[in-house]
Structure 1
Amino acid sequence: MPDSLRLPRPGRVLRRAALAVSLLLSGVLTAGQVIAPAVASAATVSTSITVDGSRSGRVFDGVGAASGGGGNSRLLIDYPEPQRSQLLDYLFKPGYGASLQSLKIEIGGDTNSTDGAEPSYQHTKGTVDCNQGYEWWLAEQAKLRNPNIKLYGLAWGAPGWIGVNDPANPSPGQPYFWSQDMIDYLVGWFGCAAQHHLPIDYIGGWNEREYNATWYKDFKAALVASGHGGTKVVAADSYDWNLASDMAADPQLNAAIDVVGMHYPCGYLGAMSTCNSTPAAQALGKPIWASESGSQDYDTGAQAVARAINRDYIDGKMTSYMNWPVIAALYQNLFFSTDGLSMATQPWSGSYSLGRTTWVTAHTTQFTQPGWQYLDQASGYLGGNRADGSYVSLRSPNTSDYSTVIETVDATAAQSATFTVAGGLSTGQVHVWATNLNSTNPADYFVHTQDLTPVRGSYTLTLQPGYVYTVSTTTGQGKGTATAPAPAPLNLPYADGFDTPAASTSPKYFSDMNGAFQTVGCGGGRTGSCLRQMAPAAPIHWTDEANKAPYTIVGDSTWVDYTAAADTLFEQPGAAEVLGRVNQQGRNDNGLNAYHLRLSDTGTWSILKSDLNWNFTTLASGTVPAPGLNSWHHLALTMQGPTLTAAIDGTTVGTVTDYSFTSGMAGLALTGYQTQQFDNLALTPGTGSGTSFTGQVPSGVTGKCLDDSGNSAADGSKVIIWTCDPTDPAQTWTWNNGQLQHNGKCLDVIGAATASGTLVDQWTCNGGGNQQWTVQSDGTLKGVQSGLCLDDPAASTTDGTQLIIWTCTGAANQRWTLP
């Protein structure tokens, strides 16, 4: 009988069953990705809801999401077909998935704006290129699927020429955002929108940088004068409602601002259970929005998003919810790598994953449209109690249709809601859709559960805890059926000569972290296309990292032993770098674990390592004949185990031993904002690359082995320690490209969390950084995403102890022997 079909020994099954019962009774068995469906008792709360079409409320402005701030959509454009179109359909196609009603796009500024940098359409004053980046492409795709989608532009940074000579500049000679240059820059951006046949419905100022009242007045006047007076100005896209009070006191400022937008009115990275605005904001008589919210995991953040979409209006009369970001299409070494409505991190394999947040969003967007009206008398809290859940009702402006969206995220028991329909609204059949947020089975998301026919205008619905429901007279809803292929590594060797056109002006799979790397004609007498850093001066930055130098990354974080090589040309004095074993990046680019081979135009070279605080350590250094300007030179950094070897123009110049980083991606970098060039990127495997094994993984705790509880193939099965038994299939693991796999599932940090103490289990392999591990020189296994080590808590010797991640110490309970 094959091992995969062999059953565990009966005694072991009983021991594990007893352990499970013990843990359940003790309350330990509560964490994990698989949550049992709630068992509801008889309804204890009853709510009467009168949906009266003659009553009033504010006008609904839609639910949307942001592409920008920054780089979170970067990998989407490089996805192959049909997966790319499937993802776009799940985001924008009506009656299919999230069915987004608005899209905020970043107005690129050549600077990091959270998890990457987006290019400016005007790196130098007067030189316009309306095809930079991928935001125009994304907006076109959104409009193609939903012609009614609203578009909203916002800047996080700006190129370095902005405001340098502005007389109001408090730092003369330095870039200055609140300038006439910036107004002209934004008005010019409308010209690019016109080239792409994209109407811009809303425009903002500077993301999360408060506001300048005089600038907004001048900006509004410039929009009107240039023929864009129909575009509404949103401000201040910041963290408070202070602008609303100032608008009330300043009629000119009030006239300049059409929509008051606040970020995270429900709180940041929390439950988003209370979502207040201010009386001053509500008294303006203008739309008030949660113009950025979310920042939640694409799957586990669904509960918070469900609360916020409803409670923004109930608590604060906000009429639009804008999720940040639209999609997690970015590398998994970045800080916000799983935030969005879906996750798409492997364009080379086409693999992607839809989150519950997609379906929570659909419960509003597939049953309403901007222009519908909230019904205040039919919106509130179930039983008058926040803990039981919330509901909002909206009616169509031109028909008798209505929809009510209900969430019972925090409820602990079944409830009932009795609806009475009045005021000219349809008393015909209503359709009930439901999502079970306590389930990990996608079949339980966005399900058409039943149709109800009101009796004398009334009907009653039973509400289970942990659900989102929509009750609607509308039809046309649907749930897409496209499925993604399995994840797979990006195999070495990998090369890019930059001559093959990519889907955007960036090379395929390259993601800029600062600066703007674009394929252009080569310099130095070389034919063909090369990669050039296009920003000639430091931009107006949004993030506050200590090292703001341009760099771009590419590849697979599971690469271990390989050579990263490229040609470089110095257009200006400065230094260029090849990066290797690029793994975790600090939040907002505030550090990077990586090795650097650096060469300057004067001939100095060095091997360096950087850390998550941008501390640089020189591991080796020296000099070679000065490369000078406008000639090509070859850099190669070989990483074989702990040995790092630097070669320049084919000659080895230095070797050093360092144990800090054992795997990671590749990259190209500069030390300042020069317009240097690169060509012929080549990533070739070393002798240890791609090795795999199958067998036991003994712990440093004597006699204990890595074990899958019950030898299960189910998602959420606990990963534990157990007495080593070479005949037990539950202890057979396969190491493959930085992943530990059992029964086809991957060793996984639950919820992609990064906190010490987070439990690990096994889960369907998805390429996430929470499923990737690097072998350290001391035998520890460090998580690529968290930077923490696989840990047997308190060095327990109790069979069945579930493993966690913890700060790396190198102690025995964190050491694992890989065959």
Structure 2
Amino acid sequence: MIPSPGPARRYRGWSAVAALVLALSSALVAFPAPAQAATAITINGTSGGRVFDGVGAISGGGGNSRLLIDYPEPQRGQILDYLFKPGYGAAMQIMKVEIGGDTNSTSGAEPSHEHTRGAVNCDRGYEWWLMGEAKARNPGIKLVGLAWGAPGWIGNGNFWSSDSIDYLVAWLGCAASHGLTIDYLGGWNERGRDVTWYKNLRSALNSRGYANVKIVASDEFGWGSADDAQRDSGFANAVAVFGSHYVCGYRSAQTNCPSSTNAVNSGKALWASENGSDDYNAGANALARGINRDYIDGKMTAYINWPVLAAITPNVPWSTTGLAVAPQPWSGYYSIGKNAWVMAQTTQFTAPGWRYLDSASGYLGGNRGNGSYVSLKSPNNSDYSTVIETMDAGSAQDLTFTVTGGLSTGTVHVWSTNVRSSNPADHFVKRSDITPSNGTFSLTVQPGYVYSITTTTGQGKGTAAGSAQGSLALPYGDDFDGYQPGREAKYLMDHQGSFEVVTCGGGRSGRCVRQMSEQAPIFWTSGHAEPFALLGDLGWRNYTVSTDVMLEKSGYVQLVGRATNYNHEGPQNLNAYYLRVADNGAWSLRSNNTSGNQRTLASGTISALGTGRWHKLALTLNGSTLTAAIDGTTVGSVSDSAWVAGQIGYATGQGVTAQFDNLSITPLAGPAPTGEIRGAGSNRCLDVNGQSQSDGAVVQIWDCNGGANQKWTPTSSNQLTVYGNKCLDAPSAASGTRIQIWSCNGGTNQQWRINADGTITGVQSGLCLDVTGAATTNGAAVELWTCNGGSNQQWIRT
């Protein structure tokens, strides 16, 4: 199922139709049709065109970069090289970062530099570190700051206030303290605009030493800012860039990417300031079109993808979007996607300050279906590059180029990426050089490719690779004493509020984790989630999690167990169990889900915990038995089987500040070998349709009901059996193959690897057991699909 997109929402998922298109596309690669008639392109160095501002991506709009800083070396450096290093990988030319606001902004929350008025701390979070690493690799990268949410003290909840201007200026000061120069600054992401506020921001920047910082308005949908600028010269003078989101359509194929007449005629730079929201491999086709067509159709001179990478765990929304995935710092596993190599086909052959050549940019043969091309020249007025995409072409095409207008007629270097191929060896390949004759040369381009032809050198493709995937081992613990105040504890991911390391209170020495948000923030999402942070492995099943807690004010704290997915539109809607304890001694064991249906499983009252005093909480999850203990005394036990495995977490009531210390997760005995296999994304069981025992009966997901058709046994010969004599069976090794049962015969198509990261892969195919389209409903089909780290490919044995 592909959901209908909405303007401020992000969806993910593949459909059977997409699988068919991919299969047909692969066939086209293998058997290219004869070339069409030649298309003539003149690359004239005297052509007019706009100045190129760059191609890059966003770190933020959620905690999408959160786990990157926790990676060990050399893997962390390798990932950073693939993202930023020239001549190595994506070679990003622009990076937009979120100005953290202590609130969820899609896939997590980022900490604010000013939780409360006047208390500025410039060492919070990881964006300063990430910007520094980007600059170290590419000193020319342009940096952009933008707020999604903000602490609630700003304007008493009104972002468009003088408070927010002071807040942004303080953030610029923090950047300067880290040796970083911010090139561009925005307003409030996708939340409209206040023309007077932008004029006041320009005035404040000019008077406080930031006259060189350019303002981008207004990071929403459409080009209304350009219309406002026509009516208000003060606003026009304040703004340097008009930036619009998803200019080709939200999560579209990016075939048609217009701006507006007022925008084009405004005299301002136009940016596609957020695009993408697509899988790090599957989004490559759209990315290839969009980078070229944004300029051809709408004269946009920058393209910014959301996000830069998915350094988040698979239960978090958008866990495979960006240029790469990096979900396991504990194992060192990461994967670089096709998106990175498509981006490299522009970034490794251009630089901000180059100029587009309008007469050498357009559609092949004047037909969008054939593909597009853009040409740019270097400030030296000699070098040039042309980027060609043929995503929708049905056959090969012969192109003839003539170089004039003072541009170099020397050797032309050719690089290409076969976007229809899943083989990394086909991505970013150096091809044979071409020697023009009297400034003329030819090139045959195949369908489904991106080509870069250039007179420049220095391009390259990194060869580093991440480690194998693996689970985060138990027992696990952290006393938080090894961190500097203001930092985030290892692997602890904020999803609402801000949990950071502080000097312990309540008479305790050492370091603790404190929930810092003292009031409801200015939310970016529509939800009103309470602060929570998660840590750990989705495969953690039976364990005791314990921690010391101290409430600083009246309210409650929560210890979270078996946390899996949450709803990013309302991140308080989390699949998990909670042990909640209030200062008055009231306690409860609770279950919640992504629809926000919270159930109280057990409750009671003990002596008041009070505030400013330390206590110990423990939550034991053993099979279906949940047990709560406070200060070493068991206060309640209950049976519930809604959630079978998942992460641990800390949570508080809204605006409740509290401290946590001495986290401990201790494993318990595992389940029996025979049992259910639940989908992490759906919490539904792997199920034989209709309880059939016939060969060929298809497998699906269904509500767990204890039936024999949901009981699976792993064997020593790598089979998964049901009914005692039927095997989980893949009738072919192709992606999209529907899974069935069949009489066990020892074939490799009936052999499966149960992996530490929760995936189940076919021995014959190497592909993952996948719920089609990331569906979560009863009856959703189970198939083979390329492993992508999605929660629809994560399985939990119970």
Give the TM-score taking structure 2 as reference length.
0.89
2:445 to 463, 466, 470: 463
1:730 to 741, 745, 749: 749
Q: Secondary structure at the match of 2:391?
A: coil
Partner of 2:118: 126
Is the 1:98–1:361 contact (alpha carbons within 8 Å) kept by the matching residues of 2?
yes
Is the 1:292–1:322 contact (alpha carbons within 8 Å) kept by the matching residues of 2?
yes
Is the 1:345–1:768 contact (alpha carbons within 8 Å) kept by the matching residues of 2?
no
Partner of 1:805: none
- Within 2, Cα distance between the matches of 1:417 and 1:771? 42
Query: How big is each residue's C-alpha offset from its partner over 1:403-454, in whole Å with a ceiling of 9 and x where there is no partner?
Result: 0000001111111111111100111110110100111110100001111111
Give the 3 Å change call, closer, same or farther, for CA 468–34 of structure 1 in structure 2. Answer: closer
Partner of 2:532: 551
Is the 1:51–1:377 contact (alpha carbons within 8 Å) kept by the matching residues of 2?
yes
**Counterpart amino acid of 2:178?**
H
CA-CA distance at 1:385 after TM superposition: 1.0
Q: Does 1:740 align with 2:740?
A: no
Partner of 1:4: none
Q: Secondary structure at the match of 1:55?
A: coil
CA-CA distance at 1:63 after TM superposition: 0.3
Partner of 2:495: 513
Partner of 2:31: 39
CA-CA distance at 1:648 after TM superposition: 1.3
Is the 2:417–2:428 contact (alpha carbons within 8 Å) kept by the matching residues of 1?
yes
Is the 1:707–1:719 contact (alpha carbons within 8 Å) kept by the matching residues of 2?
no
Q: Secondary structure at the match of 2:720?
A: coil
Q: Secondary structure at the match of 1:748?
A: strand
Partner of 2:81: 89
2:575 to 585, 593, 596: 593
Identical aligned pairs, as a percentage? 53
2:285 to 280, 291, 303: 303
Is the 2:102–2:498 contact (alpha carbons within 8 Å) kept by the matching residues of 1?
yes
CA-CA distance at 1:572 after TM superposition: 0.4
**Counterpart amino acid of 1:322?**
I
Farther off after superposition, 647-656 or 414-423: 647-656
- Within 2, Cα distance between the matches of 1:759 and 1:411? 32
Is the 1:35–1:440 contact (alpha carbons within 8 Å) kept by the matching residues of 2?
no
Q: Does 1:576 align with 2:557?
A: yes
2:95 to 97, 103, 112: 103
CA-CA distance at 1:320 after TM superposition: 0.2
Q: Secondary structure at the match of 1:587?
A: coil
Query: How big is each residue's C-alpha offset from its partner over 1:273-326, in whole Å with a ceiling of 9 and x where there is no partner?
Result: 111100000010110100111111111101110010000001100000001101
1:213 to 195, 198, 220: 195
Partner of 1:697: 720
Is the 1:719–1:747 contact (alpha carbons within 8 Å) kept by the matching residues of 2?
no
Give the TM-score taking structure 1 as reference length.
0.86
Give the 3 Å change call, closer, same or farther, for CA 409–755 of structure 1 in structure 2. Answer: farther
Q: Does 1:486 align with 2:468?
A: yes
Is the 1:549–1:671 contact (alpha carbons within 8 Å) kept by the matching residues of 2?
yes
Is the 2:759–2:793 contact (alpha carbons within 8 Å) kept by the matching residues of 1?
yes
- Within 1, Cα distance between the matches of 2:297 and 2:242? 16
- Within 1, Cα distance between the matches of 2:635 and 2:761? 39
Partner of 2:171: 189
Q: Does 1:761 align with 2:775?
A: no
Q: Does 1:139 align with 2:131?
A: yes
Partner of 1:6: none
- Within 2, Cα distance between the matches of 1:762 and 1:470? 31
Query: How big is each residue's C-alpha offset from its partner over 1:757-779, in whole Å with a ceiling of 9 and x where there is no partner?
Result: 56621656x75534311347xxx
CA-CA distance at 1:212 after TM superposition: 0.3
Q: Secondary structure at the match of 1:513?
A: strand
**Counterpart amino acid of 2:543?**
Y
Is the 1:34–1:716 contact (alpha carbons within 8 Å) kept by the matching residues of 2?
no
Is the 2:187–2:216 contact (alpha carbons within 8 Å) kept by the matching residues of 1?
yes
CA-CA distance at 1:740 after TM superposition: 2.6
- Within 2, Cα distance between the matches of 1:592 and 1:62? 38
**Counterpart amino acid of 1:749?**
D
Partner of 1:430: 412
- Within 1, Cα distance between the matches of 2:524 and 2:276? 19
- Within 2, Cα distance between the matches of 1:380 and 1:327? 30
Is the 1:114–1:587 contact (alpha carbons within 8 Å) kept by the matching residues of 2?
yes
Give the 3 Å change call, closer, same or farther, for CA 734–418 of structure 1 in structure 2. Answer: closer
- Within 1, Cα distance between the matches of 2:20 and 2:389? 26
Query: How big is each residue's C-alpha offset from its partner over 1:373-415, in whole Å with a ceiling of 9 and x where there is no partner?
Result: 1111111111111111111010112230110000001111111
CA-CA distance at 1:752 after TM superposition: 7.4
Partner of 2:729: 707
- Count of residues paired in the alignment: 735
Is the 1:205–1:235 contact (alpha carbons within 8 Å) kept by the matching residues of 2?
yes
Which stretches in structure 2 are left out of the alignment for 5+ residues?
1-16, 675-713
**Counterpart amino acid of 1:578?**
L
Give the 3 Å change call, closer, same or farther, for CA 752–61 of structure 1 in structure 2. Answer: farther
Partner of 2:770: 749
Partner of 1:415: 397
Give the 3 Å change call, closer, same or farther, for CA 691–151 of structure 1 in structure 2. Answer: farther
CA-CA distance at 1:589 after TM superposition: 4.0
Partner of 1:20: none
Partner of 2:685: none
Q: Secondary structure at the match of 2:155?
A: coil
Partner of 1:801: none
Partner of 1:780: none
CA-CA distance at 1:726 after TM superposition: 5.0
Q: Secondary structure at the match of 1:678?
A: strand
Partner of 1:613: 595
Is the 2:101–2:111 contact (alpha carbons within 8 Å) kept by the matching residues of 1?
yes
Partner of 1:623: 605
Q: Secondary structure at the match of 1:136?
A: helix
- Within 2, Cα distance between the matches of 1:139 and 1:457? 42
Q: Secondary structure at the match of 1:219?
A: helix
- Within 1, Cα distance between the matches of 2:520 and 2:725? 57
Partner of 2:143: 151
2:795 to 755, 768, 773: 773
Partner of 2:546: 565
- Within 1, Cα distance between the matches of 2:256 and 2:673? 51
Is the 1:57–1:375 contact (alpha carbons within 8 Å) kept by the matching residues of 2?
yes
**Aligned-CA RMSD value:** 2.3
Q: Does 1:63 align with 2:92?
A: no
Is the 2:185–2:215 contact (alpha carbons within 8 Å) kept by the matching residues of 1?
yes
Query: How big is each residue's C-alpha offset from its partner over 1:8-39, in whole Å with a ceiling of 9 and x where there is no partner?
Result: xxxxxxxxxxxxxxxxxx99976669945341
Partner of 2:104: 112
Q: Secondary structure at the match of 1:499?
A: coil
CA-CA distance at 1:725 after TM superposition: 1.6
Q: Secondary structure at the match of 1:362?
A: helix
CA-CA distance at 1:663 after TM superposition: 1.2
- Within 2, Cα distance between the matches of 1:336 and 1:56? 40
Q: Secondary structure at the match of 2:273?
A: strand
Partner of 1:651: 633
Query: How big is each residue's C-alpha offset from its partner over 1:476-520, in whole Å with a ceiling of 9 and x where there is no partner?
Result: 000011111111111111111111227981100010001110111
Is the 1:77–1:503 contact (alpha carbons within 8 Å) kept by the matching residues of 2?
no
Give the 3 Å change call, closer, same or farther, for CA 361–727 of structure 1 in structure 2. Answer: closer
Is the 1:516–1:535 contact (alpha carbons within 8 Å) kept by the matching residues of 2?
yes
Q: Secondary structure at the match of 2:154?
A: coil
Is the 1:70–1:116 contact (alpha carbons within 8 Å) kept by the matching residues of 2?
yes
Q: Does 1:534 align with 2:553?
A: no
1:74 to 66, 69, 87: 66
- Within 1, Cα distance between the matches of 2:672 and 2:665? 13
Is the 2:486–2:500 contact (alpha carbons within 8 Å) kept by the matching residues of 1?
no
